[in-house]
Structure 1
């Protein structure tokens, strides 16, 4: 098994899916995330602590400037595309697969204060529409589409479409 590529290789790979290149605020957020999350591969010590302080500043800068909350504790696959910046909230325990798309005003969060670490798991190639909310320990299957303004509180099978509030599942043809 080959070693995982470093953060700079991942950032170059991420950049390839952004039409705007380095001008895309979603790419800025993802680059800061990649650099911040890379510190977990280092052993505990002074370097990791200093890196952590710089990472927290970078994450806060992205939140203020881009309106994207992308914590370094989340697990994000390859080539995530944030189509339009602003109002994007991702819970720290969220898992996002490869080649996913998030649009503006998306929330991936927990559902209850009683279970604060329950967060969504998105499979590969999931598309999340503008204003969609996915809450709790729900699984979104590979190739699923979450419609704009959908509120997803239950699992969505692979290849399905979830629309409405609360979301109902439609099978794609």
Structure 2
């Protein structure tokens, strides 16, 4: 847990006051408590997590349940209006901004996006359904992504258009 928190703090530029960082601290605590023994202590820690989760949700506007699978170096650039489904997963070094939704396409289908490493999601983007977002992908602001995005591509628009990233000269 502490290695992940150090990585998250470093990814946030050492700004321990960043609201996104504190939402991640609560998330990491929630993940850590699953491995605590004995069961009675874990139940007590679960109660603490539920209170902290609700406080973080109210204060930061970030809904990041501990069921999400997430790698190291996750960055939440701006707070507010961020909703992540518990079924989603993120690789290492992903970045999201305000107004982003990573969630279910339909309530009766519990399948959320699976994101690779180094994914950058612009403000207001919506990633919905059972889709895979590859490594080194950029999602444009306000894009609505309903389809897979291969490695090294960009997705933008409503609905999202997927194109290869331009080669760096």
Task: Tell me whether the two structures share a fold, i.e. TM-score over 0.5.
Answer: yes
Alignment of 1:165 with 2:158, yes or no, is: yes
1:124 aligns with 2:121: no
Alignment match, 1:63:
57
**Deviation beyond 2 Å, 4+ runs, structure 1:** none
Q: TM-score, normalised by structure 1?
A: 0.93
1:9 and 2:3 aligned: yes
Unpaired segments of 5 or more residues in structure 2?
A: none
Residue aligned with 2:25, SS: helix
Question: How many positions carry a matched residue from both structures?
Answer: 166
Shift of 1:143: 0.3
Q: Are 1:113 and 2:113 an aligned pair?
A: no
**RMSD across aligned positions (CA):** 1.1
**Given the alignment, which residue of 127, 137, 151 partners 1:134?**
127
Counterpart of 2:98 in structure 1 is: 104
Pick one of 76, 79, 83 that aligns with 2:73. 79
Q: What displacement does 1:43 show?
A: 4.5
**Aligned twin of 1:156:** 149
